[in-house]
Amino acid sequence: MLCTYNGERFLKAQINSLLQQTWTNLEIIVSDDCSTDATKAILRSYESDHRFSITYQPQNLGAISNFEFATAQAKGEYLAFCDQDDIWLPEKIEKLYDTIGNKMLVYSDSILVDEEGQSLQKNLSQLRRMGDVHDTRGFIFSNVVWGHAMLVNRKLLPDVLPIPSGIPHDIWFAAKATSLTGISYVNEPLTLYRQHSQTVTTTLAQKAGTRALVKRYKDFEEKRYWIEVLKDNETAFPSFYEELYRLFSQKAKGVFVWPLFFFLLKHESRLFRFTYKNYMSRLIEIRKLSRGEHKA
């Protein structure tokens, strides 16, 4: 599935990479979210290709609703998602298909490239500790599965649609698939992941100044909501999620939550399994996560 919106600059390169896949039995679902640039003109040049099913939305749906619409149009047994600005390597689908087995989801490594498609000499696996995943707790404070790098079994769809409001589809799909069957990993870059000023998901660390209290409290509320979503959907660790949600919610009192600090410390190896942080860095992170938040 390819969701587009004002993607004229990089769209042709992405579409051409789809057409060059070694796995040729492809159904390419495109949903354009009312683009105002040349995106529609680019898409129209592919309308005669039987592999394409293209919808031009009459009004802007927003990224999540457009993604859900495109997903619902797919008829294949397996679904792969692509952004309008990345490039798939030729064997991507074939290698993901060969690995997924009885799992609901498989994902791979990616190479970070700049706006011109030139390598930044860094892979996602150098930023996150990737591998097969059988425990959802790593997704609470981090992620290793990006939408552009995964293949899912359509049997997963009843469990993930509709997507909870405000939750990115990739981490949601990954967490649900992990809770159901675990997920597999292909230790090889299969996508060129473009980094530029319009990228929706920021991957490389950005230098930030002191955040306003209102921003910090908003971040706290979003993280608490994500923990609540996991609590309501995870069956393997119910008592863990109930306790984490209870303790994390106490941050709203505006004071340091020592019980949360010790709870996170007890489970730090699971909570931070996707990161390369050493123990001291994890300890500093746990201290930050345990401090109180004041609503401005």
What are the sequence ranges of the domains in the chain? 2-194, 213-290
pLDDT bracket for residue 295 (50, 70, 90):
confident
Is the Cβ–Cβ distance between 155 and 74 less than 8 Å? no
State how far the alpha carbon of 107 is from the alpha carbons of 61, 147, 173, 174, in Å. 27, 9, 11, 9
Angle at 52 between CA 48 and CA 55, to 5 degrees: 100
Residues 6 or more apart whose CB falls under 8 angstroms from that of 59 comprise 34
What is the pLDDT at residue 37?
96
Q: Give 251's DSSP letter.
A: G
What is the pLDDT at residue 209?
47
Q: Where are the alpha helices (DSSP H) in 118-257?
A: 157-160, 169-180, 213-233, 238-249
Count CB neighbours of 174 within 10 A.
Answer: 27
Q: What is the pLDDT of residues 168-196, one digit of tens each?
A: 999 999 999 999 999 999 999 999 999 97
Is the Cβ–Cβ distance between 246 and 114 less than 8 Å? no
CATH number of this structure's domain 2-194, picked from the four choices 3.40.30.10, 3.40.50.620, 3.30.497.10, 3.90.550.10:
3.90.550.10
Q: What is the pLDDT of residues 21-69, one digit of tens each?
A: 999 999 999 999 999 999 999 999 999 999 999 999 999 999 889 999 9
Cα–Cα distance measured from residue 29 to residue 43, given in angstroms and rounded to the nearest whole number: 11
Is the Cβ–Cβ distance between 56 and 67 less than 8 Å? no
Of 65, 42, 67, 61, nearest to 52 by C-alpha is 42
pLDDT bracket for residue 97 (50, 70, 90):
very high
- Taking the model in full, what pTM does it have? 0.91
